Chain A
Amino acid sequence: MDQYDYSDVQRVSVGSGLENELCAIMYTDEYKELISIFVGLLQQNEVSERAFAVTTAVIENAAALYTAWNYRFEIGTALFQDQDRWEKELDWLDEFTLNNPKNYQIWSYRQAVISQQQKPQFVRDLPILDLMIEDDTKNYHVWSYRKWSVQFFKDWSHELDFVNKYIDRDVYNNSAWTHRAFYLQNIDPTEHESIFDAEISYCFEKISMAPQNVSPWNYLRFIYGSFKNNEFDARLVEFASSFIGTVLEVGTDSNSVAPHVRSSFALELLADIYAKRDSNKAKIAYQALADTWDPIRKHYWNLRIKQL
């Protein structure tokens, strides 16, 4: 802002003049001055470099001011004849993003900027997305934006390595598992059978490392839902059964030896499978979940038992 002259701008005061104003924010004098210039320019709808510079200062002061993001975008679309300017805008946005990881406006603005570029590049998007996830591995906005970006550029080639990296780092990262499910949508139907087998093996391996982890169990259901129309096979039943000890034999009889359940999610999956085939077994499984293995969800287990 320092390089521009704003002396002629008609300031618009930010004070309400209300008596006993509710939740008045005690703005600093600097902020009041900045906003009064910003509103002054906005009300004149001034499209200029100096107005653009004001939006930078406003956003850096209060990132959630969506009005400033919108004004900035309108100035940019009117003013930027040269593609370099949009490129520079992305540079600024990258820097800003690193300092404001939880902000809502960044991502829709980024989409709007990229849609303005004549030759947007996916590789231009990747480093900032990597950095953001590296720093906050479950950042919802970033994972969501990445899905938009992949679809916008129609480039799926980076995604599998990306999710593998984050599942390797933390097998409990559900955002990464969700992204894996997203990635699989792009698989060519001719490859379905081999991908199905590979994904099942992958899940089995990850579950064996940490059986009480809901993410790969849910993903496993997704795989069977997407590729096998929810027809759960003997391979899955056998695998899940290896985590539930003798619970289906001993049921909830408190006098018998503890059945050594290692994963309530394995028991839940089996219960859901048996619900369609063998309601007695399903009932024992749901009851064991309600009584012992996942009692906080007892209301839900009882709903399932009632439906049998």
Chain B
Amino acid sequence: MTIKSTARAAKKISYLRTNVLGRKREPVEREVEVETEEEVMELTTSNTELVTETLVEREKLIDDCLYLYDTAPEKLNHLQKDFHKIFLEYWLNNPLPSGFKSLDASQPWLFYWIGNAFKTLNPNWLNTDQQNRIIDKLWYISPEGGPFSGGKHQLPHLAANYASINSIALCHDINNSIELNKNAIYGWLVSLKTPDGAFLTTRPVGERDVRGVYTALSISSLLGIMDSNLTQNVTNFLISCQSYEGGFGGCPNDEAHGGYTFCAVASLALLNALDKINIEALLSWCSSRQSKEEKGLNGRSNKLVDGCYSFWVGGTAAILEAYGYGVCIDKDALKQYILKCCQTEKSPGLRDKPGTQADFYHTNYVLAGLSICEHSFSAKGSSPLDLIAIPRVEAPEVEAINPIYGITVQDVHNFATRHNESFQLPNLSMKV
């Protein structure tokens, strides 16, 4: 303990020195105390001598996390479900302040994040009235029932369609009354396809990256409309986005990134093409996202841990696990980060990291990440629509998430049963 606290004190001094003197720009050498044998066994970046912006930020976060691991009250050994329910229920029942105009083009995402987080906590909490309100609002925005827009009077957008379809899947009680315009969605998806195997997020000016690919394939596979017009060349585009580090970037040559890696790997699972990439490098990269001190996952090399990567990277690991490549992350450690660093006693909802506020996005993806920690995954002999999740802890705190779709296993199943014709036929479950 004394050795550890000396090391911590030294870190604090270096932090103060670099921060009180203004924002660090130039790397500085720092003195390292003579290492005792015990300390040598504790290998961290702080054993090195060069302090840069990256290290200063990380050491601050490590201090914050270690403090929480030392002092967190016993109740944070469990998910404070009823407490988080308050946060989500409040926003299901009240209008959003005017500052939310920044999400004016992402309105279906609000329903997905809030509704999915709610159902991940307890599948029965999202009542029929709330489900009706989700559907009413989606059909107010997009009265044709697809393709869906980010808000009323806006153009259709891939991200909005993904969030809308996932939100509809949350509304299983009223599923039978919902009619989706599959033909229009299909025609629109085809119009976004680029010859190199990617998709534009919207037309005429939109991004062309693996996010677009994932959202297009997620939607079309759920609806049973994923055919060769949509899948042609896509695997090649995805392969070209795998970085030398093992993870995937948004476009060819981009830096490996947790969010884009999830999009690429989930897409490859839907294309039944995981064997076309460098799996070994991907497993190494995924496992490298986790660090011993913080226990959580980051999204890129030398970036800070963030609760949302519990799903983006954790979900990637779960997909790899499901397809027989083994478990590459420490789920128990990640669960500790989620319980102790992403929730607090004081305010409900889940957050990115110590020092930040809870929001819808992080609440959803942190809870989905917790589900990854609490389940084992298998896709043996089953379609992605029926991925198997088995609890690996006694009494899981949250529902089983289908890591390919980011909604619960049950919701994927129910949605496909209702809206995907090839899924409804026995022995003909989706084959690509």
Which A residues form the contact surface with B (CB < 8 A)?
A: 12, 14, 16, 18, 20-28, 31, 39, 42-43, 61-67, 69-70, 73-74, 104-105, 107-109, 112, 137-138, 140, 143-144, 147-148, 168-175, 178, 181-182, 185, 209-215, 218-219, 221-222, 225-226, 257-258, 260-264, 268, 292-300, 303
Contact = CB atoms under 8 A, between A and B. Distances in A.
Nearest to B283: A300
A26 B96 contact: yes
Contacts of A172: 52-55, 302
B106 A64 contact: yes
Interface stretch (B38-46, B232-240, B347-355): B38-46
Interface string B58-78: 000000000000000000000
B43 A23 contact: no
B40 to A, nearest CB: 5
Contact of A27 (B52, B98, B133, B295): B98
Question: What are the 5 A-B residue pairs with the smallest beta carbon separation, nearest first?
Answer: A172-B54, A300-B287, A222-B244, A174-B301, A178-B255
Nearest to B291: A296
Nearest to A211: B48
Contact of A24 (B95, B201, B291): B95
A299 B96 contact: no
Interface of B: 25-27, 37, 40-41, 43-45, 47-50, 52-55, 91-92, 95-98, 100-107, 110-111, 114, 130, 133-134, 136-137, 140, 149-150, 152-155, 157, 201-208, 243-245, 249-251, 253-257, 283-284, 286-288, 290-292, 295, 300-303, 326-330, 333
Looking at chain B's contact residues, the main secondary structure is loop
B54 A23 contact: no
A298 B295 CA distance: 13
Nearest to B37: A258
Contact of B140 (A18, A74, A181, A298): A18
A46 to B, nearest CB: 14
A23 B245 CA distance: 40
Contacts of B102: 62-64
Given A112-B205, A172-B54, A27 B150 contact: no
Residue of A28, A104, A257 contacting most chain B CB atoms (<10 Å): A104
Contact of B207 (A23, A104, A299, A300): A104
A39 B150 CA distance: 14
A168 B26 CA distance: 8
Residue of A108, A185, A221, A299 contacting most chain B CB atoms (<10 Å): A299
